[in-house]
Structure 1
Amino acid sequence: MSTTNYYTIIKRVILIQTYKDKISQSNTIQTRGEKFVFGIVLLKTIYKMFAISLVVVFVTVSYCNGNYDKKRLLRQNLSKRYNPELLPILDSHQPLQIKAKLYVMALQGLDDKSQVLTASVFWYFTWKDEIFRWDHNIEYKNISKLTVKVRDVWVPEIYIVNDVRDMSIRSSGYNKDYVIVRSNGNMTWFPAKELQTSCVVDVSKYPFDTQECSIKMEAWYHDNTSFVLNTIGSGIDMSEVHFVQNGEWEIVNLSSNPFQYQDYADNSSAYSCIHYTLILKRRSSYHLITTAFPFVILMAINLLVVVIPTECGEKLGFCMSQFLTMIVFLTLIGQNMPSSSLTISYLTFLISLQILVSGITILIVAISIYLQTRRIEDRPSFVVRIIFSPLRYFQQNYFKKSFTPSQDSIHEDFTTWLDIDKKLNCGLNILLLLNVIGTVSVFVFVIY
Structure 2
Amino acid sequence: MALQGLDDKSQVLTASVFWYFTWKDEIFRWDHNIDYKNISRLTVKVSDVWVPEVYIVNDVRDMPITGVNREYVIVRSNGKMTWFPAKELQTSCAVDVSKYPLDTQECIIKMEAWYHDNTSFVLNTIGSGIDMSEVHFIQNGEWDILNLSANSFQYQDYADNSFAYSCIHYTLILKRRSSYHLITTTFPFVILMAINLLVVVIPTECGEKLGFCMSQFLTMTVFLTLIGQNMPSSSLTISYLTFLISLQILVSGITILIVAKSIYLQTRSIEDKPSCIVRIIFSPMIYFQQNYLKKSFTPAQDSRPEGLITWLDIDRKLNCGLNILLLLNVIATVSVFVFVIY
| TM-score w.r.t. length of structure 1 | 0.71
Query: Offset of 1:338 from its aligned partner?
Result: 4.0
SS at 1:275 equivalent: strand
Q: Secondary structure at the match of 2:20?
A: strand
Contact 1:113 1:340 in 2 (8 A): no
User: Is residue 288 of structure 2 the alignment partner of residue 362 of structure 1?
Assistant: no
Letter matched to residue 404 of structure 1: K
Q: Residues 9 and 231 of structure 2 are in contact (CA less than 8 Å); yes or no, is this contact kept in structure 1?
A: no
How far the C-alpha of 1:233 sits from its partner, in A, is 0.9
Structure 1 position 124 matched with structure 2 position 14: no
Residue in 1 aligned with 2:294?
Answer: 404
Give matches, 1:183-332, under 5 Å: 183-332=77-226
Whether the 8 Å contact between 1:124 and 1:188 is mirrored in structure 2 is yes
Q: Structure 2 counterpart of 1:201, which letter?
A: V
**Partner SS state of residue 117, structure 1:** strand
Q: How big is the shift at 1:402?
A: 4.4
The aligned amino acid for 1:231 is: T
Q: Structure 1, residues 288-310: CA drift from partner, whole Å, max 9, x if none?
A: 11111011011111111112222
Residues 66 and 85 in structure 2, CA contact (< 8 A), matched pair in contact too: yes
Give the whole-Å Cα distance in 1 for the aligned partners of 2:72 and 2:61: 24
Greater helix fraction, Structure 1 or Structure 2: 1
SS at match of 1:137: coil
Counterpart CA distance in 2 for 1:356 and 1:181 is 68
Which residue is equivalent to 1:15? none
From 46, 58, 61, the equivalent of 1:150 is 46
Contact preservation (8 Å) 1:113, 1:339: yes
Corresponding residue for residue 337 of structure 2: 443
* Matches of 1:250 and 1:406, distance apart in 2: 61
The residue type paired with residue 163 of structure 1 is: D
* d(CA) in 1 for partners of 2:153, 2:108: 14
Shift of 1:403: 5.2
C-alpha separation in 1, matches of 2:139 and 2:190: 30
**Judging changes above 3 Å, is the alpha-carbon distance between structure 1 residues 266 and 412 closer, same or farther for their aligned structure 2 residues?**
farther
Q: What CA distance in whole angstroms lies between the structure 2 residues aligned with 1:181 and 1:282?
A: 42
What is the letter of the counterpart of residue 189 of structure 1? Answer: W
1:344 equivalent to 2:234? Answer no
Which of structures 1 and 2 has the bigger CA Rg?
A: 1
Q: Aligned equivalents of 1:145 and 1:213: distance in 2? A: 38
Distance in 2 separating the partners of 1:313 and 1:406: 27
Tell me if the contact between 2:128 and 2:150 (Cα under 8 Å) persists in the aligned partners: yes
Distance 1:389 1:238 in 2: 71
Residue of structure 2 equivalent to 1:56: none
| 3-state SS, counterpart of residue 128 of structure 2 | strand
State the alpha-carbon separation in 2 of the partners of residues 350 and 110 from structure 1.
24
Relative distance call for 1:107 and 1:421 in structure 2 (3 A) is: same
Distance 2:315 2:72 in 1: 83
Q: Percent same amino acid at aligned positions?
A: 86
Between the aligned partners of 1:185 and 1:411, the Cα distance in structure 2 is: 107
Superposed CA RMSD in Å reads 2.3
Q: Deviations over 1:63-115 (max 9, x none)?
A: xxxxxxxxxxxxxxxxxxxxxxxxxxxxxxxxxxxxxxxxxx11222222322
Per mean C-alpha deviation after superposition, the further-off stretch among 426-435 and 241-250 is: 241-250
Give the counterpart letter for 1:147 in structure 2: T
Query: For residue 300 of structure 2, what is the aligned residue in structure 1?
Result: none
Consecutive unaligned residues of structure 1, counting only runs of 5 or more, are: 1-104
1:325 shift after superposition: 2.5
Aligned to 1:45: none
Matched, 1:387 2:281: yes
Matches within 5 A, 1:105-144: 105-144=1-40
**Alpha-carbon shift at residue 412 of structure 1 (Å):** 6.4
Shift of 1:253: 1.0
